[in-house]
Chains A and B, each alone.
Chain A
Amino acid sequence: MALMSEVPRRQAPTGTAVLEVRGAEKAFGATRALLGASLELRDGECLALLGPNGAGKTTLLRALTGRVRLDRGAVRMFGRELPAEERRAALGIVPQEIAVYPLLSARENLDAFGRLHGVAPDRLRARIDWALAWTGLAERAREPVEKFSGGMKRRLNIACGVLHEPRVVLLDEPTVGVDPQSRERIYEMLDALREGGASLLLTTHHLEEAERRCDRIVILDHGHEVAEGTLAELIERTVGGGRDVVVHLDRDAARPLDGFERGADARTWRARVRDVAGELPGLLGRVAASQARVEDLEIRRQGLHEVFLHLTGRELRE
C-alpha cells in the first residue's frame, strides 16, 4: 500500500517495554481513580486499554503523559524514569476530542502543532506533506477544518499528534463517532505508523477493533488492571476456549437436555464444546431423543465481549 510505503520502518521491533507504569495510584479528593494500575507497552506493538466508564483509563493515560501526578507508582519510558516534560516531548498524544483549530486549514493546523512539538523548521514542510498524504487530506489542505467531515477531522486530529515522529503514540478513542469506512481508514493509518516503528497504546469502545487490530489487551476496572494478554490468552484464562452451541427448538423441552444449559426460555439451550466436529453429533442426538426438533443452530466463538463481561460484570458503556 502506498500509504505504508511512505513510512519507512526505522528498526525491527524488539518487544522490549518502551512505556510502562507500575502500581499507579491516584485519588482526587475522596475519589480513588487509580488503585495500583500497571501496564506495559512493548516496542512495535499495538496495545488496547479497555475498561468500563470510570475504570480509570483516562487518568492512567494522563498519568503517562505527565498531566496527572501519581500519588504512588512509577512511569518508565525506554527503561528510564523520565521527567514529565521529557516524556511528553517523546510521546505522540492523540486526544479523544477533535483538538484542532476549526478556523485554521489542515495545513495551518499541522504547521502550528508541528512547531509546538518542536519539529525542526527545515523538516516541518516535509512532515506536513507527509501528514497530508498519510491522512488523505492533501487535496483539501487549504480549507478551514470546520468544513471537514467527522472522519476527516479525526484523521487530522491524529496527524497533529504524530508530526514529531514519536516512537510511542497514545490514542484516546481514535475512532469514536466516525462511520465504519472512516474507522477502517484510521486503522490503516495506524498500521502505517506501526510499520514505521511506532508503538501504539489506544483506548476504544469498539471491542471488535481491539480484537482485530491490537496485539495485546489490558482490561482496567476499579482503578487497576484485571487482565492483560493476547486475546487468546484472555479467553483461555477467563471464559475458556471452545465454542458455544446454541439450539432453538420447535417446542419447549419436556425436561432438561443432557449436556445443555437452559437459555432464555425452554426452547433455547446452550452447550460449550471444545471440539465442534467431534461433539456436535452427540449433542444433536440428545436433542432428537427429547422428541423436539431443531429449528435453528448457532455456533458462537468466545470473544473479547464475553471476556470483558466475565471480568467486569457489566457492559462497556454502562
Chain B
Amino acid sequence: MIGTLLGISRTNLRRDRVALAMVFVLPIMFFSIFAAVFGRPSSGGMSRVRLLVANEDGSDMSRYLIEALKADPGLGVSDSAKAAGVDAHAAPAPLTRERATALVRAGDAPIALVLPKGWGATFPNLTGNGLRAELLADPSDPVARHVVAGLLQRAAATVMRGGPAAGTSTAPSAGAAPSTPSPGAKPGAGAPDLADASVAGDPVPTHVTEVLGRSRRGGQMISFYAAGIAVMFLLFSCAAGGGALLDEQDSGTLERVLNTRVGMNGLLAGKWLHLTFMGVLQITVMFTWGMLAFGLDLTRHLPGFFVMTAATAAAAAGFGLVLATLSRSRQQLMGFANLIILSMSALGGSMFPRFLMSPTLQKIGLITFNAWALDGFVKVFWRDAPIVALAPQVGVLVALTLVFLAVARMLARRWEAA
C-alpha cells in the first residue's frame, strides 16, 4: 500500500520538471551564488581598491608616494581624470580636490587621497605632527578607507626606505616601520577612527572626510535596504500579480475577455498598467515606512525617488507578465519565480551589497534587474545625484520593460486564436 503511494509520488515528481528543479537545482544554485559572494574573499574575490589621488602638494615627496601607491598590487591608483563635461577624447588632467570629491560622490571610486600643499615638507614625521593627508571616502564602502589607510602607510614606508624612487637624492632612506595591513584587512583592523584614520607613529597622518556627509550614513543604509528589499518583493508581487492571467485562464474569464472587444494587446496593457501602479504603491509604502520609522530622508529625494520607482515598477511589471505567459500553471509560475527572483536578488545586490562583492560578481550582477534598480536608488539616496545622472539606470530599466513586454506579447500568442 505504502509502496504504491511512494510510486505515485515518485512518478509525479519525475514528470513535474519544475518541482524537480526546485528540489535539486535551486539549492545548488543558491549554494553556488552565496559561496561565490561570501566564501572566497581572499582568492581574488577582494577587489583592488580604486584610489583617486589629488596631489595639491606637487613636491618630489608626494610624487614618490604616489609612485609607491601605484606600485601596490592592492590599489588601482588614478591621479588624473577628464574634467566633467569635456570632450571624451580630451586628455586627462591632474585631479583636483573638487574633481576627486565629485568622482567619489558619483561612485566612480570609493575613496580619494588629497595630499595638501606643504605636505611633502613635513614628510616623514613619525611624531604624528606632520601635515595630514585627507581621505575623501564614500560611506557606501566602509572597507576601502581602512584598506587605503593601511596601504598608504606601507607606501610611505617604501618611500622612506628608498623605493620605488630609489636612487633619487631626495628620497629618504630610513624611517620607522609602519603598520601595514594586508589588502584584505577587515574594517577596524587598521584605522580605528573614521575622522582620524591614522595611529600615532604613522608616517602619513590622515584625516577621513565622508563626501556624502557622515550624519546621513544611517539613513543611507536604511535607504539601501529599503530599496533592496522593495525590489525583491516587488518582483515577487509582480510575478504573483501576473499569475492572475493563469487564474483567469483556469476560470474561463480570460477566454471570455478575449471574446469581447478587448484584444490581447489591450489585455496585457491593462495588466501591465495595474502591476506598475501596484509596484509604485508598494515601493512608496516601503520608503514611507522607512521615513516614518527609521528616519529615511525621503522628502529631500522625492523627484529621483519617483523616477526610479516608476522605472523599476514598470520593468518589474513586465517581468511578471513574462513569467505568467511563460508558465502553464500557478505552480509552475511560483517555481520559476522562486528560481529566478532569488537568484537575481542574490546576484543583484538585494541580499548583499554588490559593492562588497568581487569585481567579477559585480559585473555578473549587472545582468540582473535588481542591480540596475538598486544602483539607481543608491545614486538618489547616497550620492544625491541629479535626475539626469539616473539616465543609465532608467535607460536600462525602460529597455528591459520594452523587452519584457515584447516577450510577454509573443508568449501570450498561445491564448489567441488557435
Residue ranges of A at the interface with B (Cβ–Cβ < 8 Å): 28, 62, 65-69, 84-85, 88-89, 91, 93, 95-102, 113, 116-118, 160-161
B251 at the interface (CB under 8 A from A): yes
A89 touching B256 by the CB < 8 A rule? no
B256 touching A99 by the CB < 8 A rule? yes
B417 touching A84 by the CB < 8 A rule? yes
Asked whether A93 and B256 contact (CB < 8 A) given A28-B418, A69-B417, the answer is yes
B265 at the interface (CB under 8 A from A): no
Asked whether A99 and B417 contact (CB < 8 A) given A88-B259, A93-B259, A117-B261, the answer is no
Which partner residue on chain B sits nearest A88 by CB separation?
B259
Which residue of the partner chain, among B255, B257, B417, B418, contacts A116 with CB atoms under 8 Å?
A: B257
Q: Which residues of B contact A88 (CB under 8 A)?
A: 259-261
Which B251-295 residues have C-beta < 8 A from chain A? Answer: 251-253, 255-263
Which partner residue on chain A sits nearest B253 by CB separation?
A99
Which partner residue on chain B sits nearest A112 by CB separation?
B257
Closest chain B CB from A173 CB (angstroms): 12
B417 touching A100 by the CB < 8 A rule? no
B417 touching A66 by the CB < 8 A rule? yes
Which B362-418 residues have C-beta < 8 A from chain A? Answer: 417-418
A88 to B257 Cα, complex, angstroms:
11
Which residue of the partner chain, among A65, A96, A97, contacts B259 with CB atoms under 8 Å?
A: A65
Which partner residue on chain A sits nearest B415 by CB separation?
A67
Q: Which of B256, B259, B418 is most buried by chain A, counting CB atoms within 10 A of its CB? A: B259
Q: Describe A's contact surface by its main secondary structure.
A: loop
Which residue of the partner chain, among B260, B263, B418, contacts A113 with CB atoms under 8 Å?
A: B260
A160 touching B256 by the CB < 8 A rule? yes
Q: Which residues of A contact B251 (CB under 8 A)?
A: 97-99, 102
A68 touching B418 by the CB < 8 A rule? yes
Which partner residue on chain B sits nearest A28 by CB separation?
B418
Q: Which residues of A contact B257 (CB under 8 A)?
A: 116
Asked whether A69 and B256 contact (CB < 8 A) given A99-B251, A116-B262, the answer is no
Asked whether A100 and B253 contact (CB < 8 A) given A66-B417, A67-B417, the answer is yes
A85 to B265 Cα, complex, angstroms:
13
A62 to B263 Cα, complex, angstroms:
16
Q: What 1/0 flags go to B207-240 for Cβ under 8 Å of A?
A: 0000000000000000000000000000000000
A116 touching B260 by the CB < 8 A rule? yes
Q: Which residues of B contact A117 (CB under 8 A)?
A: 260-261
Which partner residue on chain B sits nearest A118 by CB separation?
B261
Some 27 contacts from A to B, beta carbons below 8 A apart, are A28-B418, A67-B255, A68-B417, A69-B418, A85-B261, A89-B261, A91-B259, A93-B256, A95-B255, A95-B259, A97-B251, A97-B252, A98-B251, A98-B252, A99-B251, A99-B252, A99-B253, A99-B255, A100-B253, A101-B253, A102-B251, A113-B256, A116-B260, A116-B261, A116-B262, A117-B261, A160-B256
Which partner residue on chain A sits nearest B262 by CB separation?
A116
Which partner residue on chain A sits nearest B266 by CB separation?
A116
Q: Which residues of B contact A89 (CB under 8 A)?
A: 261
A101 to B253 Cα, complex, angstroms:
7
Other A-B contacts than A117-B261, A118-B261, 9 sampled, CB-CB below 8 A, are A66-B417, A67-B255, A95-B256, A96-B252, A99-B255, A99-B256, A102-B251, A113-B256, A116-B261
Q: Which of B255, B256, B257, B258 is most buried by chain A, counting CB atoms within 10 A of its CB? A: B256
Q: Which residues of B contact A68 (CB under 8 A)?
A: 417-418
Q: Which residues of A contact B418 (CB under 8 A)?
A: 28, 62, 67-69
A69 to B418 Cα, complex, angstroms:
6
A67 to B254 Cα, complex, angstroms:
12
Q: Which residues of B contact A91 (CB under 8 A)?
A: 259
Which partner residue on chain B sits nearest A102 by CB separation?
B251
